[in-house]
Amino acid sequence: MELVSPGIGLIFWMTLAFGLLLFILGKFVWPPIMRALSEREQAIELALHEANKARKEMEELRFSNEQLLREAKEERDGILRDARKVRESIIEDSKVKATEEANRILENATERIHFEKMAAITDLKNQIANLSIEIAEKILRQELSDPEKDKAIVRKSISDITLN
C-alpha cells in the first residue's frame, strides 16, 4: 500500500525541513515572542499592582486628610474656645481691676476727704480757738466787770460753736 508506506526520501526531506524549521524558529522567532509576552504580562501585573497600591495610598491619603481636617477643626474650636475664655477672663480681670481701681480711688477719695475733713477740723479748731481767744479777749475787755454776765456769754459762745 502506497498510502501507508513511508518513503525514505520523504522522511529524509521532512526531517531536514522540520529540523531546520525548529532551529530557525527556535533561535530567531520563539524566544523574542515568549520574552515579549512574559515581559508584557509582568508589566501589566506590575501596573495593576501599582494602581492598587496608588489607590490604597489615595485612600490612606484621603483618610489622613480627613483626619487632618478633623484635627484642624478641633484645634480651631479649641483655639476659639481658649480665645473666648481668654476674652472672658480679660473682661473679668478688667472688671476686677476696674472695681479695684474704683475702690482704690474711692478709698483714696475717702482718705483724702477724711484728711481734708481733719484738716478742716483742725483749721476749724484753730479758728475756734482763735475765736475763743478773740471772744475771750472781747469778753475780757468788755465784760470783765460782771462775772455773771461773763460766764453767760462764755457759755453761750461755746454752745454756739457747732463742731461739724
Partner 1 sequence: MRTFLLSISFLLTSLWAVSNAPSHEEPLSAQQETTTSHEEKFNAGHMIIDHIVDSHDWHIATFGHTHITIPLPIILFDEGKLIVFSSAKFHHGEHAYLGYKIESDRKAGKGKIVKVIPGTMETDKTAARPLDFSITKTVVGIIISFIVLLLVFFPVARAYKRNAGHAPKGMQSLLEPVILFIRDDIAEPSIGKHYKRFMPFLLTLFFFIFFSNLIGLFPFFPGGANVTGNIAVTLVLAAFTFIITTFIGNRSYWLHIFNPPGVPWWLKFPLPLLPLIELAGVFIKPFVLMVRLFANITAGHIIVLGFVSLIFIFANMNPALGYGVSPVSVLFSVFISLLELLVAFIQAYVFTMLSALYFGMATEDHGHEHAHEASH
13 contacts 6 by C-beta, under 8 angstroms: no
Nearer to partner 1, 1 or 163 (CB): 1
Q: What is the smallest separation between the CB atom of 49 and partner 1, expressed in angstroms?
A: 16
Q: From 100, 101, 78, 98, select the one nearest 90 (Cα to Cα).
A: 98
Nearer to partner 1, 24 or 118 (CB): 24
Q: What is the smallest separation between the CB atom of 23 and partner 1, expressed in angstroms?
A: 9
Nearer to partner 1, 17 or 140 (CB): 17
Q: What is the smallest separation between the CB atom of 50 and partner 1, expressed in angstroms?
A: 15
Task: Name the residues that contact partner 1, by CB under 8 A.
Answer: 2-15, 17-18, 20-22, 24-26, 28-37, 39-40, 43
Nearer to partner 1, 33 or 96 (CB): 33
Q: What is the smallest separation between the CB atom of 47 and partner 1, expressed in angstroms?
A: 10
Tell me how far apart the alpha carbons of residues 33 and 69 are, in angstroms, rounded to a whole number. Answer: 52
Query: CB under 8 Å to 131, separation ≥6 — which residues?
Result: 161
State phi, psi for 4 to the nearest 5 degrees. -110, 20
133 contacts 157 by C-beta, under 8 angstroms: no
